[in-house]
Amino acid sequence: MARQGTVLVIFSHDLLGQGLAARLEGLGVETCAVRSSDKPAARQALSDHPDVVVVETTDQKCLAGIRRLSPLSRIVDISDSVGPGYPEHALRFDIILDALADLPG
């Protein structure tokens, strides 16, 4: 059964971002992935107002920009899952799915 909703993955680490996008697409979720360094592409993708934005940052300025450009999007921060060596907190993929499942309508 395909899930409803759209997800934008804004990533710094290729393997993480592209892997998340591929996994979501495999579940039937309409997904777009852009590198965080490609600001024009990120702005364009946010103008489509995705239901969920998965972002790999704790930068408050960046998060404020996402909220400004797509105010109704749910933001899932995965930055705890990224770092040198073994991450202290493993990525909880279910949080992304929960954000989609809780969409109104």
The neighbour count for residue 78, using CB atoms within 10 Å, is: 24
What is the model's pTM?
0.82
Average pLDDT, the chain: 83
Say if CB 35 and CB 44 are below 8 A apart: no
Which pLDDT tens digit goes with each residue over 60-70? 888 899 999 99
**Nearest-5° Cα angle at 15, 10 to 2:** 65
Q: Is the pLDDT of residue 3 over 50?
A: no
* Mean pLDDT for the stretch of residues 83-97: 63
Domains of the chain: 6-101 (3.40.50.2300)
Distance CA 92, CA 56 (A): 13
DSSP state at residue 7: E
Which pLDDT tens digit goes with each residue over 35-55? 988 999 999 999 999 999 999
